[in-house]
Amino acid sequence: MAESYFNGTKISGTANFAVYAMAFLELGTLIPTIPIMAFCSSIVYKTSILHRNLKGILLAQLFGTMMNLWPRAFVLIDQIFVAKNNFLSVPKFISGPSTAAFTFNNMAGHVLIVERICATVYVDTYESYRSWAFTVVWLSITIILCLALTIYHALVLDSLFSLTNISVGLYIGAMIASLIEIFIFSMIKKFNKKLFDLRHGNGKNQQLSVRYQLNENIRTGRQLAPNFLCHFITVFITFVMTMNFQFGIITKAENMLLFLGFLFLAHAFNGLALPVAMLCYHPLLNRKAKASLAIIKKSLRNSSAVSPYEEKAQPLDTDGRPFGERIQQENEDKDAYFKQLASAWGDRP
């Protein structure tokens, strides 16, 4: 392995090997994460039972994470296999979009708690709210802020990693906000459960949509807990990195490289955990994911057994799927939806 230098300091062989090992492990995590992200995004997009506001936030989180991961994968491939130096500086045309996407993903996590608060406060009317206003407003504000911060660091400060008092304050504020959000999220879960028990116990007459939305708030609170954990880890990693750069806690070159390598590796695992948590802990997404995987597996298994003439003779819909499979999938989605309605009307969550 060639000698490596960082800020003019020669890196020892042991530290060099450790950093390269973490880089290989990070790359091995990023490569499968990108197709899993794409698969999860398609599942979330096709799910019609999720509320429009919640679906928009989940898709935005997946998009932001994906846009942040692929530049990092490109940099790792270039540094490890092409330039053969894992400590090269990242070009601005790579680090700029990646930083903007990273900031966008963090802010989408904050918006998620706002959406859950709205679903709790306006439980009587939230199910019938189908306007795009909430999504358009938060997307516009978030995109403008992300672009402004990235352009300011890249052009004015001439470095995406330069820190000002304002940027440090923003990172500290994001960390404090994440801690507060965890507390608020737990309180929302308890409040929804208490409200459901209260209305269920006194026999208060209420519309089916209201009862369903209240029950769905409780279920969604449980299902989104892993998402909030992933969001908190991302904010925490950014906070630790920022505090180290600002106050110079770790200054030795070798320790700095090991520290950064560990943070990037933790961020890669966290990026993989986000779509996996969505598909595993949300029952509707989990059911759709299993159905999609079954269709893919069946197609691969039968591709060699079915002749081209037989494959062509089957009636297909506009998406290229057999009508029988489409009808079966739609029936399963309807059954799942009405089971939730029945559970919301007659059973406790």
**C-alpha pair distances (Å), 184 with each of 160, 177, 190, 314:** 32, 10, 10, 53
Measured CA to CA, the distance from residue 27 to residue 69 in angstroms comes to 10
Indicate the SS3 state at residue 105: helix
Structure tokens, 196: 């459901």
Measured CA to CA, the distance from residue 333 to residue 169 in angstroms comes to 46
Rounded average pLDDT over 3-14: 63
* Cα within 13 Å of Cα(56), Cβ side: 17
Fold classified for 17-286: Rhopdopsin 7-helix transmembrane proteins (1.20.1070)
Is 5 or 272 the better-scoring residue by pLDDT? 272
Measured CA to CA, the distance from residue 33 to residue 30 in angstroms comes to 5
* Cα 53 off chain centre by: 15
Give the model's confidence band at 28: pLDDT under 50 very low, under 70 low, under 90 confident, else very high. very high
**3-state DSSP helix/strand/coil % of the chain, to nearest 5:** 80, 0, 20
pLDDT of residue 311: 46
* Cα within 13 Å of Cα(35), Cβ side: 3
Please, what is the Cα angle at 209 between 203 and 210, to 5 degrees? 50
Give the model's confidence band at 29: pLDDT under 50 very low, under 70 low, under 90 confident, else very high. very high
Chain segment 286-319, per-residue pLDDT in tens: 888 888 888 888 887 776 554 444 444 455 555 5
**Per-range mean pLDDT, top range of 73-77, 162-166, 332-336:** 73-77
DSSP string, 158-203: S-TT---HHHHHHHHHHHHHHHHHHHHHHHHHHHHHHHHHHHHHTT
Contact 232, 184 (CB under 8 A): no
Model pTM score: 0.73
The chain-wide mean pLDDT, for the chain, equals 77
pLDDT of residue 164: 67
Chain segment 167-188, per-residue pLDDT in tens: 778 778 888 888 888 888 888 8
Structure tokens, 337: 């939806």
Least confident of 24-33, 87-96, 125-134, 181-190: 87-96
Structure tokens, 222: 């449980």
- Beta strands 9-10 and 5-6 are antiparallel
Q: Environment class of residue 40 by beta-carbon count within 10 Å: exposed (0-12), middle (13-18) or buried (19+)?
A: buried
Domain boundaries, the chain: 17-286
pLDDT at 1 over 90: no
Which spans in 202-322 are helix H? Answer: 208-223, 225-247, 253-281, 283-302, 308-313
Rounded average pLDDT over 234-256: 79
Measured CA to CA, the distance from residue 340 to residue 51 in angstroms comes to 14
Other CB atoms within 10 Å distance of the CB of residue 171 = 20
